[in-house]
Amino acid sequence: MDTDINRITDLDIYLTRMQRSILDKMFFIDKVFEPFRYILDFGCANGELIKAMKPMFPDYGYVGYDISREMIEAARKNVTDASFFDDWDSIDIPFSESLINISSTVHEVYSYCDEKDIELFWDRVFGSGFRYVTIRDMMFSQAEDIPVRQEQLRAVRNSVYAEWLQSFEKVWGKIETQRQLVHFLLKYKYTQNWDREVHENYFPVFTETLIKRLPASYRPVYREEFTLPYTSWQIRRDLGFELTDHTHIKLILERID
């Protein structure tokens, strides 16, 4: 996996974006009831989620994992009373007594990993014996992948964001499906790190593909497919139409003993 942090041109803006969704990333905390002792934040970046959760839910032990050494160093400075690792094999908590939280990470794994590393990722997630697995990420349903809504596409082409759409189409091809348009609409505001954002695949797998991958050793106890409210508000304000397509998924999986 490419760990070059220089892909993020403006790291402060990138981290600020992540902080805006902190509360939503805690979605699982009031929906899990079997006892567990640790929360492992997979792809923890600078530790902001752990920093927010610790004072609110102090009874858990907190561990962060990220492949970026620079992010882990920032996390250790940001949250001095939690443990952070950039080496998976060094994590020293009992996974069977832990919840692994995977937020906005699945699409990055698929964007920057080869097939072997993708399989290793899923083996770590589902093969380590975690009590709970929670996933929150951008995802699009194959059932909603219809021909593009032309009135929405015209609104974008006639807006001040048309040049960014042209740039997007140079990378991803001419927009013909609703999935392609929504992909653009999730990233059109992130021009500060545009070169990174435009190449990153926000929808690498369909929702149905993810669901098929879930092993029999886990049962879904919570599932929500939704449109991110902030994105809907932006699009309504900037482009004058209502985005109704689901852009994200939340999953809580419980290990079957």
- Domains, the chain, in order of start with CATH, read 5-138+200-230+247-255 (3.40.50.150)
Q: Using CA atoms, how far apart are residues 59 and 138, in angstroms rounded to an integer?
A: 30
Q: What is the structure's pLDDT at 9?
A: 47
Alpha helix positions (H), 67-105: 69-78
Residue 17: what pLDDT? 52
Look at the chain and count its residues. Answer: 257
Contact 245, 206 (CB under 8 A): no
Q: Which pLDDT score is estimated for 193? A: 85
Residue 44's pLDDT is 96
pLDDT at 192: 85
Question: What pLDDT was estimated at residue 218?
Answer: 98
Q: Does residue 160 sit in helix, strand or coil?
A: coil
pLDDT of residue 257: 82
User: Do 55 and 25 touch, CB atoms closer than 8 A?
Assistant: no
Contact between residue 164 and residue 238 where contact means Cβ atoms under 8 Å apart: no
Distance CA 32, CA 35 (A): 8
Q: Is 136 exposed, middle or buried (0-12, 13-18, 19+ CB in 10 A)?
A: buried
Gap between the Cα atoms of 120 and 115, Å rounded: 9
- pTM of the predicted structure, to 2 decimals: 0.90
Write down the pLDDT at residue 212: 96
CB-CB contact of 211 with 187 (8 Å): no
> Per-10-residue mean pLDDT for the chain, 257 residues long?
43 50 92 97 96 96 96 97 97 98 95 95 98 98 97 98 97 98 96 90 96 97 95 96 96 95
